[in-house]
């Protein structure tokens, strides 16, 4: 689980998107600050020019300036509501990054249990093969002594071959499960991963007494998808307010510059002295993007409604995930109990068949069938325990933990 959250590029991609939206949110607020420029300039004019009164005359002049300029170009309404929407988008990206992390960790856990199940099932077959080979040796001695039929020995040899084939198939399943786990952990595909142990133990992560309605309530409060959907809806609401209110707030333009100005006729570079200039103005935009722009308001309202509908869809999907995960967990729990009964019955059947074999060597088939039933029961229990643990992790994720 630690590896899954450390190296996966999908998680890194989601985190990078969050960093981007967070920077955009900070930039939206920084637009309220005025811009400052510092520099120098040179201008020269030769030939005809026109004065303010309209007279045209020939001139040769130049000027140069040095100093800073402070500029303000504000649309307070747009800037304010855009900053609020950007903040919500950053929150949504943060929650989506957390969702990606949880999804990857859960997928890695599920694939680990697939590997653990394959390893445990392989251990059962290997144990059965060892006992069958011991039985083959016993039957072989009895055949040599003339107290058993050769057909019984061949039947046991066939069972040994069948179990060897099953072992090879389970080894393939284990290797494929290891490759799938290596992929989700972003490890080299050839890495030989093995589970920490071959024995599976049921692990309960969610209280069985908690009702489905309570689990759904927890999920809607804690799932990052719901938090992201809520943030996106809020951002759409701020965009709608921007379309409605921002055009009524006037834009502000202002500037102030100071420094030095020099120059004069022809090549004169003197007359350098300090200079200052400033301006300020307010205004309203009429038309697209400004006052009386109804289409912009309609678009913003439609987007808010769409975000609200998507939030409802997310809620419904989360509720379904909780119900499905809870049903799987309960079913797997019941299957474990049923398989425990089957294993106990199969073990008793093997003991009886072996007891009969000790007194009568003609019941080889009965003993082999009993061992097959025991092997199937043990493997079925492994499947049930692995399914239960997977379901517990999926249910824990579904409720937002």
| pLDDT for 358 | 64
Rounded distance, CA 89 to CA 25, Å? 8
* Mean pLDDT value of segment 338-353: 85
Mean pLDDT within 5-34: 76
CATH number of the domain bearing residue 185: 1.20.1600.10
- Give domain status of residue 385, yes or no: yes
How far is it, in rounded angstroms, from Cα 275 to Cα 21?
43
pLDDT-derived band at 271 (thresholds 50, 70, 90) equals confident
Model pTM score: 0.74
Please give the pLDDT value at position 155: 82
Helix (H, G, I), strand (E, B) or coil at 45: strand
pLDDT at position 21: 84
Which pLDDT score is estimated for 302?
A: 93
What pLDDT, on a 0 to 100 scale, did the predictor assign at position 282? 86
Name the more confident of 358 and 56.
Answer: 56
Higher pLDDT, 36 or 78: 78
Which residues constitute the domain of residue 135?
Answer: 4-45+56-398
Mean pLDDT for the chain?
83
In our burial notation (b when 16+ CB lie closer than 10 A, e otherwise), range 137-155 reads eebbebbeeeebeeebbee
Which residue in 287, 283, 286, 301 sits closest to 244, CA to CA? 301
Q: What pLDDT score does 233 carry?
A: 92
Q: Does residue 50 belong to any structural domain of this protein?
A: no
Query: Which residues, other chains included, contact 98 with Cβ-Cβ below 8 Å and sequence gap of 6+?
Result: 224
pLDDT of residue 168: 92
Task: Kindly state the tokens that stand for 28.
Answer: 């939206």
Q: Judge whether 51 lies within some domain.
A: no
Confidence of residue 148 (pLDDT cuts 50, 70, 90): low
pLDDT tens, residue by residue, 96-131: 888 888 888 888 888 898 998 888 888 888 888 888
309 occurs within a structural domain: yes
Is 92 in a helix, a strand, or coil?
helix
What angle is formed at CA 99 by the lines to CA 93 and CA 100, rounded to 5 degrees? 90
Q: List the structure tokens of 60.
A: 């040769």
- Cα distance between residue 215 and residue 323, in whole Å: 9
Model confidence pLDDT, tens digit, residues 171-205: 899 888 888 888 888 888 778 888 877 567 888 87
- 334 vs 32, residue with greater confidence: 334
Position 270 scores a pLDDT of 76
Tokens of 388: 């239960």
pLDDT at 313: 92
User: What pLDDT does residue 316 have?
Assistant: 92
Q: What is the mean pLDDT of residues 197-218?
A: 80
Instruction: Dump pLDDT digits (tens) for 283-311.
Output: 888 888 788 888 888 988 999 999 999 99
d(CA 325, CA 32): 49
Looking at per-residue pLDDT, the higher value among 39 and 85 belongs to 85
Buried b (16+ CB within 10 A) or exposed e, 226-248: bbbbbbbbbbbbbbbbbbeebbe
The least confident of 62-76, 297-311, 323-337 is: 62-76
pLDDT at 362 over 60: no
Would the pLDDT of 57 be above 90?
A: no
Reported for 274-283, long-range contacts at CB under 8 A and 24+ positions apart, including other chains, are 275/65, 275/67, 278/254, 279/253, 279/254, 279/255, 280/252, 280/253, 280/254, 280/255, 281/252, 281/253, 281/254, 282/250, 282/251, 282/252, 282/253, 283/250, 283/251, 283/253
Strand partners, 38: 68
CB proximity list for 227: less than 8 A, separation 6 or greater: 91, 92, 95
What is the pLDDT at residue 147?
67
Q: Which of 283, 279, 212 is nearest to 251 (CA)?
A: 283
219-235 pLDDT per residue, tens? 888 889 899 999 999 99
Structural domain count, the chain: 1
Cα Rg, the chain, nearest whole Å: 39
- Give domain status of residue 232, yes or no: yes
Buried-exposed string 302-337: b where 16+ CB fall within 10 A, e elsewhere? ebbeebbeebeebbeebbebbeebbebbeebbebbe
């Amino acid at each position: 689980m630690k590896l899954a959250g450390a190296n996966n590029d999908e998680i890194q991609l989601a985190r990078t998107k969050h960093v981007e939206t967070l920077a955009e949110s900070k930039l939206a607020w920084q637009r309220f600050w005025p811009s400052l420029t510092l520099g120098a300039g040179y201008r020269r004019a030769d030939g005809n020019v026109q004065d303010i009164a309209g007279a045209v005359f020939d001139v040769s002049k130049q000027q140069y300036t040095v100093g800073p300029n402070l500029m303000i170009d504000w649309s307070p309404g747009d800037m304010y509501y855009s900053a609020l929407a950007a903040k919500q988008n950053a929150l949504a990206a943060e929650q989506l990054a957390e969702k990606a992390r949880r999804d990857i960790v859960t997928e890695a856990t599920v694939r680990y249990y697939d590997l653990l199940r394959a390893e445990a099932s392989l251990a059962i077959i290997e144990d059965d093969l060892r006992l069958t080979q011991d039985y083959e040796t016993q039957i072989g001695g009895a055949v040599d002594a003339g107290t058993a039929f050769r057909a019984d020995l061949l039947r046991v040899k066939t069972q040994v071959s069948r179990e060897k084939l099953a072992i090879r198939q389970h080894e393939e399943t284990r290797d494929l499960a290891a490759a799938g786990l290596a992929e989700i952990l972003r490890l080299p595909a050839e890495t030989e991963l093995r589970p920490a142990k071959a024995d599976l133990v049921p692990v309960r992560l969610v209280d069985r007494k908690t009702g489905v309605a309570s689990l759904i309530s927890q999920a809607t409060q804690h799932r990052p998808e719901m938090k992201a959907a809520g943030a996106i809806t809020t951002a759409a609401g701020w965009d709608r307010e921007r379309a409605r209110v921002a055009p009524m707030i006037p834009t502000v333009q202002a500037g102030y510059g100071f420094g030095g100005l020099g120059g004069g006729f022809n090549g004169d570079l003197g007359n350098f002295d300090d200079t200052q200039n400033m301006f300020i103005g307010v205004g309203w935009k009429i038309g697209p993007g400004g006052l009386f722009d109804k289409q912009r308001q309609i678009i913003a309202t439609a987007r808010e409604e769409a975000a609200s509908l998507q939030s409802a869809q997310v809620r419904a999907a989360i509720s379904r995930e909780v119900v499905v995960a809870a049903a799987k967990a309960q079913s797997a729990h019941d299957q474990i109990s049923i398989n425990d009964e089957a294993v106990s019955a199969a073990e008793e059947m093997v003991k009886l068949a072996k007891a009969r074999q000790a007194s009568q060597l003609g019941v080889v088939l009965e003993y082999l069938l009993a061992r097959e039933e025991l092997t199937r029961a043990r493997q079925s229990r492994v499947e049930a325990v692995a399914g239960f643990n997977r379901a517990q992790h999926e249910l824990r994720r579904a409720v937002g933990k």
